[in-house]
């Protein structure tokens, strides 16, 4: 296991919700990362952000770790959930709410409903 892999594993297993993204949750540096961080922020989800642009080892390592080629990547309770398109679909279908509920992750259900109403 490489240092990057160990660091990734430690991060996803010690935090309930982790977003590997380009930039940070307060300063996203790509539209897709911004969209996922925006959904999580709007829904009031406490999450750990990992800026892949700050570390090439992590940037490549996360793609190998999940066997998923793109950033952002969302993890809930150590499990890879998906990238921007998947998170967007899950938000609109209500699947993301269910995932958070099943894993004891606090979020604002009213905010989730507002996202669905705005995109319905």
Q: Could you read off the pLDDT of 37-62 as tens digits, one per residue? A: 999 999 999 999 999 999 999 999 99
Domain with 68, as residue range(s), is 3-119
Average of per-residue pLDDT values in the chain = 97
The CATH number covering residue 89 comes to 3.40.30.10
Which secondary-structure segment (H or E) carries 60?
helix 56-66
Into how many domains does the chain fold? 1
pLDDT at 114 exceeding the cut of 90: yes
The answer to whether 30 is a known ligand-binding residue is yes
State the pTM of this model.
Answer: 0.96
The residue to which tokens 């892949």 are assigned: 52
Please report the DSSP string for 10-59 in residue order: HHHHHSSEEEEESB-SSSB-SHHHHHHHHHHHHTT---EEEEGGG-HHHH
């Amino acid at each position: 296991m490489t240092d990057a892999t160990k660091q990734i594993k430690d991060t996803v297993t010690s935090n309930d919700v982790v977003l590997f993204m380009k930039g940070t949750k307060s300063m996203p540096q790509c539209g897709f990362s911004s969209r996922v961080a925006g959904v999580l922020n709007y829904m009031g989800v406490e999450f750990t952000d990992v800026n892949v642009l700050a570390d090439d080892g992590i940037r490549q390592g996360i793609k190998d770790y999940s066997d998923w080629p793109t950033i952002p990547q969302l993890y809930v309770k150590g499990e890879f959930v998906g990238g921007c398109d998947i998170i967007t679909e899950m938000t609109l279908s209500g699947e993301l709410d269910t995932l958070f509920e099943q894993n004891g992750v606090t979020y604002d259900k009213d905010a989730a409903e507002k996202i669905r109403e705005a995109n319905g």
